[in-house]
Structure 1
Amino acid sequence: MTDQGATAEQADAVRLSDPVPDDVILRERADKGDPLLSVKGLEKHFPIVKGLLRRQVGAVRAVDGVTFDVYRGETLGLVGESGCGKTTTGRLLTRLVEPTGGSIDFDGRDIAHLRQGKLRPLRRDMQMIFQDPFSSLNPRHTVGTIVGAPFRIQNVKTEHGIKRAVQDLLKLVGLSPEHYNRYPHEFSGGQRQRIGIARTLALRPKLIVADEPVSALDVSIQAQVVNLLDDIQREFDLTYVFIAHDLSVVRHISDRVAVMYLGKVVEIADRDDLYTRPRHPYTVALMSAVPVPDPARRDRAQRERVLLTGDVPSPINPPSGCRFRTRCWKAQEICATEEPPLLPRLGDAASHQTACHFPIDDAEEVAGRSSRATA
């Protein structure tokens, strides 16, 4: 590229990195109403200890300053490669893991540091679907005991008894009421995940965090479970945080998508906006890895594949400034010295936020050029 071309590209990047005016952001937020869940500066650092005295010598920064909102009735997809902090974030939201710092505002109340006694009544309003349907169900308990546990733990009375309520839940998720006395080992993976979903729905929660709920299932069963989640969301007006690494599944079920890299959210936007106009270089690389089922488009997609160089840095000692800069083809000196804030950029909707000093203007053109440069 000539010096003149490089200068023009840098000028375009600087213009694109300008923030959206505050009045536009406030107007868009007012249209959506108050969020059900608002996370600000959320952190989880796992200590590294050494020696007989168990002295802390460092920390794994699994989640390091995550901020986002989840609005009532919507599905927020949370994506990123393995080890980026997706699952830890989900467990922090439900307080299955204690946060190191930050706030978790759930339905108008900060629950980040509530004691278990005060948190327990709130647990009926936020539940979790776990990734592995084989290990998330107690093999010693019957289906009736597993699905009925939330009623007993929260001391919730039902009109026709717990057994009837459990059987109604089994029918709701596509199982038979006759399965009440069976054990988990008698079911397939898809059926076990339906049992887990029935348990999650028992107390009619407001928020469900689904931690890769279909990743351990066959493709045909994945579609059934995703459609089931869609149906019950409409029926009960549920709010989802859907964690996954399969971008095709996320696109199908999500209203908005947040992309995580090394413990931070690097981009968040409405689903269609993110998939058609990704701004962060890491998002572009992820999108280029999605399989293309159309043979007519497959060869072109392979030519445009972004092949990132280098390994993912360690969360024990992440890079200074932008954490993606060590693998980014657009990185410049400022990327090493200043961490880019997560902000909406000029030309994007206020809901499209990017943490990048040089957001991508034409993702398709850059993807093709990067693929040729790194292949």
Structure 2
Amino acid sequence: MSTNDNLLEVTGLEKHFPITRGVFFKRKVGAVHAVDGIDFSIQPGETLGLVGESGCGKSTTGRLVTRLLEPTGGKVVFEGRDITHVSTNTMRPLRRDIQMIFQDPFSSLNPRHTIGSIVGAPLQVQNMPMPNGQKRAVQELLELVGLNPEHYNRYPHEFSGGQRQRIGIARALALRPKLIIADEPVSALDVSIQAQVVNLLDDLQNELGLTYLVIAHDLSVVRHISDRVAVMYLGKIVEVAPRDDLYSEPLHPYTLALLSAVPVPDPARRDSAQRERILLVGDVPSPIDPPSGCRFRTRCWKAQEICATQEPPLAEAVTGHQVACHFPIEASERTGRGAEAAREAAAAVAEE
């Protein structure tokens, strides 16, 4: 393992999808900068939440870490071993330790196969020891995730969305992995079922000592399950902090705007800062041609000339709290009056 005992270390990770023209002689004319140089680490037993709006590169990051996609640049180190460009054959044994839970619990399950064969497939591929046979091993996994073991011979269409996601979780747990990447694990489920699946993931982590990278756009879900949270915008990580610090004292303007949009169901708990949203104007810039300097500057009310010319590094502002911003949010801007001033400044950016 690496010297600082991180289970996973990601350094300068990049994924650029080429844009080509021509039928026979494809000529590269550009690239989509889906992930454009990100750094983060996860310690054993920790849950890191990765949040951001659609199209920011969250899911691509998850697929790069699991090596379902080949990185364009950077490094992925798992347990001290560089797995960035290892071959398929070399990666196969490592699949036991790195598994993924996919967003859509229906499309990720083969409708032609029974639940027994779907959950049992990893056991066969990896030649896992099964003293009591594959059927019993799969039934134990189904029982572990709260499903009836007798449903071994049923097909995916016979289950609800929440049950199908539990099947996906059982498949990910089959090899007893050390790291699980959960890509929007509850976004396709009803709100009434989301809490059950999140609580299941929490219980499994405590029981099996799992480490999670949870990818989500719902800040409420991330707050419930994460130890630390990383905020992503247009292929870049703009803020990383312990969960409570990020939610109580956000330092990046984008993070403040995201948190202002989180609904608070209890009217008695809503203060003026939470009632009024900071509306970000305009669309997210194209990842084909991202802005110079800070990528958020085209929508930021605090942007100045330096933001266009110099890209802010992800640096530690306070202990354990990193932010990539030339002008981080101050305490006064988190109050009702400060948030109101931020909204007025955001409106001024829209007029420009």
Q: Is the 8 A contact 1:285 1:367 kept in 2?
A: no
Using the TM superposition, name which of 297-306 and 125-134 deviates more: 297-306
Length, aligned pairs only: 342
Shift of 1:361: 1.4
Residue 353 (str. 1) matches residue 325 (str. 2): no
Residue 230 (str. 1) matches residue 230 (str. 2): no
SS at match of 2:132: coil
The within-5 A match list for 1:209-288 is: 209-288=181-260
Shift of 1:81: 0.3
Deviations along 1:77-114, one digit per CA (max 9) or x if unpaired, are: 00000000000000000001110000000011010100
For 2:78, the equivalent position in structure 1 comes to: 106
Q: Is the 8 A contact 1:303 1:371 kept in 2?
A: no
In 2: Cα distance, 1:80 partner to 1:335 partner: 21
Shift of 1:130: 0.2
Q: Structure 2: where are the runs of 5+ without partners?
A: 348-352
For 2:350, the equivalent position in structure 1 comes to: none
Structure with the bigger RCO (C-alpha within 8 Å, sep 6+) is: 1
Find the partner of 1:133 among 93, 105, 112.
105
Q: Is the 8 A contact 1:94 1:128 kept in 2?
A: yes
Residues 172/339 of structure 1: CA separation in 2 closer, same or farther (3 Å cut): same
In 1: Cα distance, 2:306 partner to 2:275 partner: 30
User: Which amino acid in structure 1 is aligned with residue 174 of structure 2?
Assistant: A
Find the partner of 1:329 among 289, 301, 304.
301
SS at match of 1:59: strand
User: Which amino acid in structure 2 is aligned with residue 325 of structure 1?
Assistant: R
Q: Structure 1: where are the runs of 5+ without partners?
A: 1-28
In 1: Cα distance, 2:262 partner to 2:138 partner: 39
Q: Is the 8 A contact 1:267 1:280 kept in 2?
A: yes
Residues 303/151 of structure 1: CA separation in 2 closer, same or farther (3 Å cut): closer
For 1:38, the equivalent position in structure 2 comes to: 9
Find the partner of 1:51 among 15, 22, 27.
22
Q: Is the 8 A contact 1:244 1:250 kept in 2?
A: yes
Q: Is the 8 A contact 1:93 1:104 kept in 2?
A: yes
Shift of 1:293: 1.1
For 1:124, the equivalent position in structure 2 comes to: 96
User: Which amino acid in structure 2 is aligned with residue 360 of structure 1?
Assistant: I
TM-score (norm 2): 0.95
Shift of 1:316: 0.3
User: Which amino acid in structure 2 is aligned with residue 245 of structure 1?
Assistant: H
Q: Is the 8 A contact 2:301 2:345 kept in 1?
A: no
Using the TM superposition, name which of 55-64 and 293-302 deviates more: 293-302
Q: Is the 8 A contact 2:116 2:153 kept in 1?
A: yes
